[in-house]
């Protein structure tokens, strides 16, 4: 197999908030890459710490034992959760320190991803949008119940109400693992926090992907749209990781 | 003798470890913000170790020194808005919006304590003994309970028998029946909130704890709601909560007690319901009991058992219970299924309620007391639940409330960072409260972000500018200050500011400044000072620039004083020092006195303030107030509905601003209701002078009966000047459209625009 030909780029900004509680990290182990994005929950305190701790612990582990399979991906979430709960206990901050999480693992032959919360992973194949992760949020659930249209999620009153996050004890795994795909070489991924996808429509993401020559260009074009639409609306931190495979 | 801080048992002074509970003397607190053991509150409650804590406060074990008994003391300390430094007693509230939310939450906390203290009289309640404010926060003193929560029981035993679970649920339902009648909904029924005492009593904990997310940006519902126990209407900000919310949660708790498993999360069931009845999980259970439980767990509230009493009857097992299956894709406006009865509840017998209270920092800025009907009547068909209208515009709320046959009135205004101007900030009564038909919901409107006028900082020294910026509640960051060389502005003084002076901006806006580094060149010359008087500052700067071109050197502008002047036009220089023609070295700064013009003030925002507040605000701003009155459909009586000069405009100091004060809703013509009786009333109304809806000048005086159109609402709004309801009004006039001659401050009739008759009984002519 030829060597992994990846290119990727990251973009993260506090938006119009005082602090950036989004955190991203990229790690490598041999042929395998790990892309992690976490959006710390504001309003609970310690969001920035939560996102950082989770990302760092996952990357530290990946650099030692990373592999691209479902077992390892589950482990990422379990590990992140363990570390986060331990930190909460140590600091006595059980009500605080929560975060979303999106993880993408890829090597020469396989791509695997999972998420919890409302940070999204978009999967494009041959520059066309194939699927995205479904948010663990009230509006997404209402869409599933047939009470809301998909296009009404952005700007919905309950948009910020999440059903599942890292940092809340779970009886059984609350994260969601997507079906893995075999790598063909024409894939592109966008991991992004809600502060990002809130302000840009999928069809624009796709349009800009077609024109972009590199992940960096793609992110830059998208950022222009995000800023234009979100400016002056007290916009949230926004973060994106773009990966071309 | 001392007391053990762990269990409040008596200990000898030299004992180190309590022989009852093992608590070690001197154990330090686990969190810096807990009160230290040994603290005494209200001079009689000794505080011990922490029994529990949540997002909204801490519970301590305590000892009531006066009555010599153990107590539990709950402290209001919401981590989002406040904290406490180690070892201190006083709570530290965060500044800004947090302070307001803290205050609102505290009022809620104490109010609910008083509301729920009504249940003390019943034998099996956990009593509320006391509630008070201290240390900048609030405390509730309650009966101390010895036992375990259902959650702890399930942790050990996984599940319990159907009969045991049923007995617990029946007790909870007895409690809920009584509390729901008072319009209180628990909202957080779950195994960890049901307590079983060592003497086998059942108590419900933490009423009112679970409301909406506190801070505006709070995202994770799983912190506020308990997945599996919370019904779907609690997930949606516009979901309507009521007794059925507690019914669902209790059903989920019952399910959990008998199966050992939490039911599927309600919001997920909305999309894809795969909750299995207990019998399918292998639990032996009477089919009627099972139907009752599954009915209470119907996802959509209109299919659920609606109230505690019906549930109680169903669970008793003496009746057949039919299973109600939810139909798919039904619209919400359904007729109630036949089996549901709107119970006319008899007085409840044994109410066992352990009441622990946490208030949340709801977006409630209301500082007004609740005035809605405190119904002792049974929950009947005329009652309805108040929906959530916060965040809506007046029109939207009016429509929504109109659909429920409720009225809407604006009762005040408050600034807010988070709610847009002219949207509703908070409401009384709260959503989920029980209301009668046609009851009035009072709301506080948001004034949006507080705005101020940008001051003129040019010519100020850096420190002066910084201080003024802080005082005006604006922001100046270190990286917002740049420096540049200038020949014409003295070193250390402000050259330019990012926002022009006198522009209206929101508080907390960031300002940028440019500070002078002085002249690049160090050489000076001895020259004659040019004349700058009469010029604007900009012209003076240009003049100094020309001076430099001519002579190679120039003077810089130093201190600028601004004075009001009626002689010199605004912005022009009144005088300078050194004076024109004097000889001075060119590095000496020229200080100026610039005219501010006649003193102008900015018209403040007066909409929806009370008349007194508005007059005070005007007077503080250096303006005078003129008052007229008018009816208003929207605003409550006594509030300002119009001002003749708009907010933000400027007027010379001393100018008069005329405000229109609401008289409340115009009464229907000829109505005889709501008349405050005064003395001997001659009965019938005798309008004279004005007719129709204007308060007429005089009235018939005797007996103090108001003329038509004058009075509305409770509290009596006599339209006669002064003596209103006292009935001794010898005044009152014949209403010749003019003066009521005695009885205190009778004022002229409503036809004269500036003289008005005030709803609070005084007449008011303000110069």
Beta-carbon count within 10 A of A245 CB: 20
**Is the CB of residue B79 less than 8 Å away from at least one CB of chain A?**
yes
- Of A45, A141, A165, which is closest to B222 when you measure between CB atoms? A165
CATH of region B147-215+222-316: 1.10.510.10
The gap between the terminal CA atoms of chain A, to the nearest Å, is 14
Over chain B, what is the mean pLDDT?
A: 74
Asked if B475 reaches chain A (Cβ–Cβ under 8 Å), the answer is: no
Selecting from B219, B238, B271 the residue whose C-beta is nearest the C-beta of A145 gives: B271
Pairwise CA distance, residues B461 & B481, whole Å: 12
Alpha helices in B117-206 (DSSP H): 150-157, 162-181
Rounded Cα distance between B413 and B416, Å, is: 10
- Assign A175 to helix, strand or coil: coil
Query: What's the gap in Å between the CA of B191 and the closest CA on chain A?
Result: 15
SS (H, E, C) B551-589: HCCCCEEEEEEEECCCCCCCCEEEEEECCCCCEEECCCE
| A162 CB within 8 Å of a chain B CB | yes
Long-range contacts of A88-92 (CB under 8 A, 24+ apart): A88/A167, A91/A46, A92/B30, A92/B31
Cβ contact (<8 Å) for B214 and A164? no
Start-end ranges of CATH 3.30.10.20 in chain B?
383-446, 450-520, 521-598, 600-662
Mean of per-residue pLDDT scores for chain A: 89
Tokens representing A44? 């609970």
* The CATH classification of domain B2-9+19-143, taken from the options 3.30.200.20, 3.40.640.10, 3.40.50.300, 3.40.50.2000: 3.30.200.20
What residues of chain A lie within 8 A of the CB of B55, using their CB? Answer: 95
- What is this model's ipTM? 0.74
| Closest chain A residue to the Cα of B34, Cα to Cα | A92
**Res. B366: pLDDT tops 80:** no
For the domain made up of B521-598, give the CATH fold: Trypsin Inhibitor V; Chain A (3.30.10)
Decide which of B364 and B564 is more confident: B564
Distance CA B481, CA B501 (A): 17
Chain B residues with beta carbon closer than 8 angstroms to that of A92 = 30-31
Of B764 and B567, which is predicted with more confidence?
B567
Which chain A residues have a beta carbon less than 8 Å from that of B265? 163
B140 CA to centre of own chain: 21
Quote the CA–CA distance of A121 and A143 in Å, as a whole number. 18
Query: Which pLDDT belongs to residue B507?
Result: 77
CATH 3.40.50.720 fits B600-662, yes or no: no
CB contact under 8 A, A146 and B271: yes
A11-25, A84-98, B597-611: segment of lowest average pLDDT:
A84-98
State pLDDT tens for residues A32-55: 999 999 999 875 567 888 999 999
pLDDT above 60: residue A163: yes
Q: What is the pLDDT of residue B244?
A: 94
* Closest among A160, A36, A235, A84 to B222, alpha carbons compared: A160
* Alpha carbon of A132: minimum distance to chain B alpha carbons (Å): 19
Q: Give Cβ neighbours of residue A173 (< 8 Å, ≥ 6 apart).
A: A74, A77, A78
Judging contacts by C-beta atoms under 8 Å, the chain B residues touching residue A138 are 221, 235-236, 267
Cβ <8 Å between B270 and A145: yes
C-alpha to C-alpha distance for B241 and B234, rounded to whole angstroms: 7
| B31 close to A (CB below 8 A) | yes
| Domain B383-446 top-level CATH class | alpha beta
Highest mean pLDDT among A109-123, B221-235, B372-386: A109-123
**pLDDT one-digit tens code per residue, B732-751:** 333 333 333 333 333 333 33
Residue of chain B whose Cα is closest to the Cα of A45 = B80
Domain locations in chain A as residue ranges: 7-244
Residues of B in contact with A167 (CB under 8 A): 220
Can you tell me the mean pLDDT for B662-672? 71
Q: By three-state DSSP, how is residue A174 classified? A: coil
Q: Which residue has the higher pLDDT, B50 or B565?
A: B50
DSSP assignment string, B292-339:
HHHHHT-SSGGGS--SHHHHHHHHHTSS-----PPPTT--S-PPPPTT
**What is the average per-residue pLDDT within B86-96?**
85
Å from B188 to nearest chain A CA?
16
Of residues B96 and A201, the one with the higher pLDDT is A201
Give B687 to chain A, closest Cα distance, Å. Answer: 52
pLDDT of residue B695: 34
What is the pLDDT at residue A123?
Answer: 95
Q: Is B446:B477 a contact under the CB 8 Å cutoff?
A: no
Cβ pair A141:B216 closer than 8 A: no
Cβ(A167)–Cβ(A99) below 8 Å: yes
What is the second-level CATH architecture of the domain A7-244? 4-Layer Sandwich (3.60)
C-alpha span between B590 and B555 (Å, rounded): 7
pLDDT digits (tens, 9 = 90+) for B450-480: 777 888 888 888 888 888 888 787 888 878 8
Beta bridge partners of B70: B63
Burial class (CB in 10 A: 0-12, 13-18, 19+), A21: buried
A145 contacts on B by Cβ (under 8 Å): 270-271
Strands B624-630 and B656-662: parallel
Following CA atoms B629, B632, B638, B641 in sequence, which dihedral angle do they give, to the nearest 10 degrees?
A: -80
> B262 vs A171: CB contact, 8 Å cut-off?
yes
- Per-residue pLDDT at B132: 93
């795909």: which residue's tokens?
A: A181
- The structure tokens listed for B389 are 């209208």
Poorest-confidence range of A32-46, A113-127, B263-277, B339-353?
B339-353
Most confident of the ranges A37-51, B292-306, B412-426, B587-601 = B292-306
In whole angstroms, what is the distance from residue B70 CA to residue B49 CA? 12
pTM (whole model) above 0.90: no
pLDDT per residue as tens digits for the range B487-509 = 888 888 988 888 888 788 887 78
- Percent pLDDT > 70 in chain B is 76
Q: Which residues contact B281 (CB under 8 A, 6 or more apart)?
A: B259, B261
Q: Does residue B348 carry a pLDDT above 60?
A: no
Question: Are A158 and B235 inside 8 Å of each other by CB?
Answer: yes
Min distance A137 CA to chain B CA atoms (Å)? 9
Is the pLDDT at B182 greater than 70? The verdict is yes
Query: Which class in CATH covers the domain with range B450-520?
Result: alpha beta
> How do residues A113-140 score in pLDDT, each as one tens digit?
999 999 999 999 999 999 999 999 889 9
- Residue B648: what pLDDT? 78
Name chain B contacts of A95, Cβ cutoff 8 Å.
54-55, 79, 223
A165 close to B (CB below 8 A):
yes
Interchain CB contacts (distance < 8 Å): A and B = 86
pLDDT band per the 50, 70, 90 thresholds, residue B55: low
Least confident of B1-15, B302-316, B370-384: B370-384
């Amino acid at each position: 197999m030829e060597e992994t030909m990846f290119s990727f780029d990251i973009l993260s900004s506090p938006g119009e908030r005082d602090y950036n509680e989004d955190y991203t990290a990229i790690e490598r182990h041999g042929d395998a890459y790990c892309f992690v994005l976490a959006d710390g929950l504001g309003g609970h305190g310690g969001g920035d710490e939560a996102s950082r701790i989770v990302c760092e612990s996952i990357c530290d582990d990946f650099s030692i034992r990373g592999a691209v399979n479902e077992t390892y991906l589950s482990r990422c979430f379990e590990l992140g959760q363990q570390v986060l709960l331990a930190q909460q206990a140590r600091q006595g901050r059980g009500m605080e320190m929560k975060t979303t999480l999106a993880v993408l693992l890829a090597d020469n032959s396989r791509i695997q991803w999972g998420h919890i919360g409302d940070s999204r992973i978009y999967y494009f194949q041959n520059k066309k949008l194939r699927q995205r992760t479904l948010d663990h949020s009230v509006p997404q659930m209402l869409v599933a119940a047939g009470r809301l249209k998909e296009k009404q999620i952005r700007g919905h009153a309950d948009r910020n109400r999440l059903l599942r996050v890292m940092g809340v004890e779970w009886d059984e795994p609350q994260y969601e693992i997507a079906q893995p795909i075999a790598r063909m070489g024409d894939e592109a991924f966008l991991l992004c926090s809600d502060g990002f996808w809130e302000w840009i429509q999928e069809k624009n993401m796709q349009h800009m992907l077609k024109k972009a020559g590199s992940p960096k260009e793609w992110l830059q074009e998208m950022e222009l749209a995000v800023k234009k639409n979100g400016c002056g609306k007290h916009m949230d931190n926004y973060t994106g990781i773009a990966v071309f495979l | 003798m001392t007391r053990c801080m762990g269990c409040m048992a008596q200990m000898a002074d030299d004992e180190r470890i309590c022989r009852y509970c093992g608590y070690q003397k001197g154990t330090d607190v686990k969190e810096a913000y807990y009160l230290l053991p040994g603290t005494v509150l209200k001079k009689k409650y000794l505080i011990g170790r922490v029994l529990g804590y949540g997002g909204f406060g801490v519970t301590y074990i305590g000892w009531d020194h006066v009555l010599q008994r153990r107590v539990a003391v709950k402290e209001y300390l919401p981590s989002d808005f406040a904290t406490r430094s180690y070892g201190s007693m006083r709570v530290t509230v965060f500044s800004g919006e947090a302070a307001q939310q803290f205050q609102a939450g505290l009022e809620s906390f104490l109010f609910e304590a008083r509301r729920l203290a009504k249940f003390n009289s019943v034998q099996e309640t956990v009593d509320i003994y006391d509630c008070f404010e201290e240390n900048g926060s609030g405390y509730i003193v309650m009966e101390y309970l010895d036992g375990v929560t259902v959650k702890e029981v399930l942790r050990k035993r996984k599940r319990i028998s159907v009969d045991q679970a049923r007995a617990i649920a029946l007790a909870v339902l007895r409690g809920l029946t009584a509390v729901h009648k008072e319009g209180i909904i628990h909202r957080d029924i779950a195994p960890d909130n049901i307590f079983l005492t060592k003497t086998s009593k059942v108590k419900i904990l933490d009423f009112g704890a679970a409301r909406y997310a506190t801070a505006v940006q709070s995202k994770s519902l799983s912190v506020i709601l308990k997945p599996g126990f919370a019904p779907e209407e609690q997930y949606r900000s516009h979901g309507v909560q009521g007794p059925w919310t507690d019914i669902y949660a209790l059903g989920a708790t019952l399910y959990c007690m008998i199966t050992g498993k939490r039911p599927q999360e309600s919001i997920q069931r909305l999309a894809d319901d795969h909750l299995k009845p207990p019998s399918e999980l292998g639990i032996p259970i009477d089919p009627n009991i099972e139907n009752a439980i599954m009915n209470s767990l119907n996802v959509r509230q209109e299919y659920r058992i609606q109230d505690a009493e019906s549930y109680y009857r169903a669970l008793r097992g003496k009746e057949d219970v039919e299973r109600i299956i939810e139909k798919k894709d039904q619209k919400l406006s359904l007729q109630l299924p036949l089996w549901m009865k709107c119970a006319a509840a008899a007085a409840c017998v044994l109410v066992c309620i352990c009441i622990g209270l946490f208030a949340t920092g709801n977006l409630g800025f209301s500082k007004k007391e609740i005035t809605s009907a405190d119904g002792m009547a049974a929950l009947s068909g005329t009652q309805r639940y108040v929906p959530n209208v916060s965040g809506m515009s007046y029109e939207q709320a009016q429509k929504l409330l109109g659909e429920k046959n409720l009225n809407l009135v604006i009762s005040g205004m408050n600034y807010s960072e988070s709610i847009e101007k002219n949207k509703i900030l908070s409401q009384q009564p709260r959503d989920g409260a029980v209301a009668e038909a046609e009851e009035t919901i009072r709301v506080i409107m948001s004034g949006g972000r507080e705005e101020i006028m940008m001051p003129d900082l040019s010519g100020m020294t850096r420190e002066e500018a910084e201080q003024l910026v802080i005082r005006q509640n604006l922001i100046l960051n270190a990286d917002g200050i740049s420096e540049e060389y200038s020949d014409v502005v003295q070193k250390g003084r402000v050259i330019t500011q990012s926002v022009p002076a006198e522009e209206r901006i929101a508080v907390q806006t960031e300002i940028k400044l440019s500070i002078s580094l002085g002249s690049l060149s160090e050489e000076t010359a001895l020259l004659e000072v040019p004349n700058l008087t009469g010029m604007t500052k900009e012209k003076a700067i240009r003049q100094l620039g020309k001076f430099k071109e001519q002579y190679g050197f120039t003077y810089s502008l130093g201190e600028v004083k601004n004075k009001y002047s009626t002689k010199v036009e605004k912005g022009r220089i009144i005088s300078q020092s050194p004076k024109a023609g004097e000889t001075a070295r060119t590095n000496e700064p020229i200080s100026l006195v610039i005219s501010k013009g006649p003193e102008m003030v900015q018209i403040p925002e007066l909409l929806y303030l009370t008349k007194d507040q508005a007059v005070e605000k005007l007077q503080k701003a250096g303006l005078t107030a003129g008052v007229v009155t008018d009816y208003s459909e929207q605003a409550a009586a006594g509030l300002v509905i119009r001002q003749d000069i708009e907010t933000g405009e400027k007027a010379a100091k001393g100018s008069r601003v005329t405000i229109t004060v609401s008289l409340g809703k115009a009464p229907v013509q000829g109505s005889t209701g709501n008349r405050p009786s005064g003395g001997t009333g001659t009965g019938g109304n005798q309008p004279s002078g004005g007719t129709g809806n204007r308060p007429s000048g005089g009235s018939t005086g005797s007996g103090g009966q108001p003329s038509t159109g004058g009075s509305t609402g409770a509290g009596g709004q006599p339209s006669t000047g002064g003596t209103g309801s006292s009935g001794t009004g010898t005044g009152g006039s014949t209403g010749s459209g003019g003066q009521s001659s005695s009885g205190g401050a009778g004022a002229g009739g409503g036809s004269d625009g500036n003289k008005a008759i005030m709803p609070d009984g005084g007449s008011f002519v303000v110069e």
